[in-house]
């Protein structure tokens, strides 16, 4: 594993070419399958967010930029990229590393576990949305959902446009001009506004998030590192809370996990790494 051995801290990722990043992702999946099969653990979820974790650590600077995983069992790749690969020899065992983030292990782990289905998480989201100057990026790891991701130039353009301040200023300007136009101005604005909302809801499932006051980017291919980095860089530049919607495949790269229709190897015991 020539690339994985080069990773001592997240900063090392900056020296990788795009081709090397693809090879690194493959090495990480091979590493996870080998180590988790020996000890048991959450294999499928972590196989699904390898590229996403790489992109996050290339765009943001942990631990200065705090990363919180919900839930913490998806933090295996994060642990590898923050220099803890050796600890996987004893994953979830005494003398090894925990199966969840651990402040005792690393300065890169700040909150040890969380869960968005809890009432406190929804309370926090409500408070976040009320703070339009809070620089926060929420990444939704969306795997195995019933709807398909939007693709193509139109979807990409609209996704970019919606998260820009210029777009919001244009809408405000248009509203002011049309509302001042006698007789037809307000009906035209209402029609155009309705068309905008209709197109938005068809292009992407973003209405719920924007209703919460969160800017929305996506959907983005969660296994395309350059695309993820572009979305995350755009989100990083925005002055308020932003949600990045990434489409991923749980169990990616491991046939036994993909063939497990019910769980996608969500959590496994000790298994044969070849057959599962």
Q: State pLDDT tens for residues 211-231.
A: 667 888 988 999 999 999 999
Look at residue 169 and tell me if it is in a domain: no
d(CA 100, CA 109): 9
CB 139 within 8 A of CB 56: yes
Look at residue 156 and tell me if it is in a domain: no
User: How many angstroms separate the Cα of 144 from the Cα of each of 55, 150, 157, 221, 247?
Assistant: 21, 15, 25, 13, 8
Look at residue 187 and tell me if it is in a domain: no
Look at residue 193 and tell me if it is in a domain: no
Spell out the residues 6+ positions from residue 234 whose beta carbon is closer than 8 angstroms to its own.
Answer: 160, 163, 217
Going 268 to 271 to 272 to 276, the CA torsion angle's sign is negative
- pLDDT of 24 reads 98
Look at residue 107 and tell me if it is in a domain: yes
Per-residue burial over 67-104, b if 16 or more Cβ lie within 10 Å, else e, is bebbebbbbbbbbbbbebbebbeebeeeebbbbbbbee
Look at residue 164 and tell me if it is in a domain: no
- pLDDT of 116 reads 63
- pLDDT of 175 reads 53
Range of the domain at 136: 4-150+204-258
Look at residue 184 and tell me if it is in a domain: no
Q: What is the largest CA-CA distance in the chain?
A: 75
Question: How do the pLDDT tens digits run along the chain, 276 residues long?
Answer: 799 999 999 999 999 999 999 999 999 999 999 999 999 889 999 999 999 999 999 999 999 999 998 888 999 999 999 999 999 999 999 888 999 898 999 999 988 776 666 677 667 767 776 777 788 999 988 886 433 444 444 345 444 544 555 545 545 555 565 556 554 445 554 555 554 444 444 444 566 667 667 888 988 999 999 999 999 999 999 888 898 999 999 989 888 888 877 788 888 888 888 887
The CATH code of the domain that includes 69 is 3.40.50.970
The count of domains in the chain is 1
Could you count the other beta carbons within 10 Å of the beta carbon of residue 9?
Answer: 12
Look at residue 38 and tell me if it is in a domain: yes
Instruction: Tell me the helix, strand and coil percentages in the chain, rounded to 5.
Output: 50, 10, 40
- pLDDT of 146 reads 35
Tokens coding 83: 């220099």
**To the nearest 10°, the Cα dihedral for 112, 113, 114, 118?**
-120
Q: In the sheet where 137-143 sits, what is the strand order?
A: 137-143, 242-248, 215-221
């Amino acid at each position: 594993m020539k690339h994985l051995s080069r990773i001592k801290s997240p900063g090392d990722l900056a020296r990788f070419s795009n081709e090397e990043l693809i090879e690194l992702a493959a090495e990480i999946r091979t590493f996870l399958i080998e180590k988790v099969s020996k000890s048991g653990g959450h294999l499928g979820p972590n196989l699904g967010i390898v590229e996403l974790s790489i992109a996050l650590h290339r765009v943001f600077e942990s631990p200065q930029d705090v990363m919180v995983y919900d839930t913490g069992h998806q933090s295996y790749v994060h642990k590898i990229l923050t220099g803890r690969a050796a600890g996987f020899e004893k994953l979830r065992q005494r003398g090894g590393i925990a199966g969840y983030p651990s402040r005792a292990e690393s300065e890169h782990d700040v909150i040890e576990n969380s869960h968005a289905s809890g009432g406190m998480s929804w309370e926090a989201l409500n408070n976040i949305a009320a703070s339009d100057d809070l620089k926060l990026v929420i990444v939704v790891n969306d795997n195995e959902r019933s709807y398909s991701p939007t693709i193509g130039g139109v979807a990409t353009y609209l996704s970019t446009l919606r998260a820009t301040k210029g777009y919001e200023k244009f809408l405000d300007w248009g509203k002011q001009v049309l509302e001042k136009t006698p007789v037809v101005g307000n009906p035209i604005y209402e029609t155009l506004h309705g068309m905008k909302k209709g197109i938005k809801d068809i292009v992407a499932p973003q209405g719920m998030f924007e209703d919460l006051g969160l800017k929305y980017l996506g959907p983005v291919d969660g296994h395309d590192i350059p695309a993820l980095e572009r979305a995350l860089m755009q989100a990083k530049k925005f002055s308020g809370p932003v949600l990045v919607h990434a489409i991923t495949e749980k169990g990616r790269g491991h046939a036994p996990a993909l063939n497990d229709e019910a769980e996608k190897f969500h959590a496994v015991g000790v298994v044969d790494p070849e057959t599962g």
